[in-house]
Amino acid sequence: MRTGKVIDVGNKPDDTQLKDARKGIVKELDAPLPQVEIIEVPEEVAPKKTWLRWVVAGISTIVGLEVIRATSFAFSVSPLLGWATTAVFSGVGVALTFKTVGWYRAGKQLEQRARLKSAAIDAYAARSTKVRDNWVNDAKQTLTDKQTLAFIDDIVTKRAHTDSREMITHVDSYYRAKKDPAAQALIANRAKRAALGIGASPFATLDMAIMVWQSVKLCDELCKVYGITPNNRVRYRLVSQILKNTFFSGASELVLSEVLPEMGVSLAGQLVGRAGQGFAAAVVVSRFGLAANKALRPVPYLNQEPKLKSSLAKIIFNSGASELTQMGVKLINEQKTSAPGDR
């Protein structure tokens, strides 16, 4: 028999404790209460790279001086040539300015996305309605996808009780249901194309070109799925971020035999002999795609993070025998009927 246990709670709270306690109020209402408002939180200013500004200012000054010298020289030769040179330089200058601003703004998207994701991790840990409101404000400033924003709005207006952890869980579920499947399909599709292209390509340089081309296309497609406008700066930043996080972790990871355990026993057991270069390309593109997917998502994967094996399984099981042969893959159950097609 248990006689109960002593828990050090339930004593009469002293005055200092009661100071912050709510005593409880009951009121009669003439009209419904207004909805809970979201508290505006000023955006945190990121530390600026002042050295880069000085370098840009220095280069701009040198270029500016050179332009003035060239224009002066053109005017000294002929006023007509001078005006023509001025027009050309002005046109180039305006185009460059627009391009640079566009490049700069587009590049900011990834930084904002990373900041939002980092805030999501904090919000998940916090379990607070105030932190939820802050994250929602950040999301509204960062995300452009109307459906996602409507989903977030729906939670805030209909579910005042939702705390920050629940909000992040809901957004993760939303992405898992609505966005991730499309991203997974794109990754499998581009990886298969790369595998088939490299399987058919007779030159190593062409192999490289196919890989880069498919990776860039995949990067653009994933950006669109997750509501980011792709441009060269985004591609560059995304690729460099992925290279840093994924491929520089060890060259051995690119070796297929090292990747097989990741694919799971059932799938790895299906492969026989040497999987060809084509399939290796599929592995690389899939890994790139998965890393890009992770970087572009505004919330971390809370569960069911897509694995390399699921992408590769899609490629293998959705490919015909001839396609597999072209990739250099041979399934065990087909071994007895035909020989593996090595390149």
Partner 1 sequence: MSIITDLGDNFLDLSKESLVEGLNKLKSHGRHQWQRARRERLRIGVAGLSRAGKSSFITSLVRQLEASDESDLLGFSPALENRIDAVEVLPPDDTRGLVDFNYKKQLTRLTATPPSFPEPTAVISGLDISISYRSRKGKRKNLVIEITDFPGEWLIDLAMIGMDFSTWNRWQCSLWETRRNGEEFAEFSKRLFALNLEDQHAVERIRDDYRRLLMTTRESEQGALLQPGQLCTKGHVVDVFPMACAELIDENPSALSEWLEQAFSHYVEGTVKPFFERYLSSIDRQVVLVDVQQVLTTSQTKLDETSEALSLILGKFDYTDDHSWFNWLRPEIDKTCFYATKADRVLPEDHLALRKILQRVARDAMRFSKSHGAAVVIDAIGAISTTTSGRTSDGEMLEGTDKNGKLQAYQNPSLLVDDELCFELNQSFVAPEFVPIMNAGIPLHIRLDSVLEQLVADWME
Part of the chain binding partner 1 (CB under 8 A), chosen from 111-119, 164-172, 213-221, 265-273: 164-172
CA distances from 210 to 64, 183, 224, 275, 281 (A): 40, 20, 21, 19, 9
The span from the CA of 156 to the CA of 224, in Å, is: 26
Q: Is 42 in the site for partner 1 (CB under 8 A)?
A: no
Among 45, 52, 150, 177, binds partner 1 (CB under 8 A): 177
The amino acid that residue 244 corresponds to is K
User: Do 270 and 313 touch, CB atoms closer than 8 A?
Assistant: no
Residues 264-283 that bind partner 1 (CB under 8 A): none
Number of residues that bind partner 1 (CB under 8 A): 50
Q: Is 336 in the site for partner 1 (CB under 8 A)?
A: no
CA distances from 197 to 211, 272, 275, 282, 323 (A): 9, 21, 15, 10, 10
Q: Which token pair is 31?
A: 């009209």
Strand pairing partners for 271? 331
Among 86, 112, 137, 173, binds partner 1 (CB under 8 A): 173
Among 28, 150, 266, 337, binds partner 1 (CB under 8 A): 28
Q: Is 22 in the site for partner 1 (CB under 8 A)?
A: yes
Nearer to partner 1, 17 or 61 (CB): 17
Nearer to partner 1, 179 or 330 (CB): 179
Nearer to partner 1, 146 or 336 (CB): 146
- Phi, psi angle pair for 41, to nearest 5°: -120, 125
Part of the chain binding partner 1 (CB under 8 A), chosen from 95-103, 163-171, 226-234, 283-291: 163-171
The span from the CA of 288 to the CA of 340, in Å, is: 28
Q: What track of x and - describes contact with partner 1 for positions 133 through 152 (by CB under 8 A)?
A: ------------------x-
Q: Is 15 in the site for partner 1 (CB under 8 A)?
A: no
User: How many CB atoms sit inside 10 A of residue 166's CB?
Assistant: 17
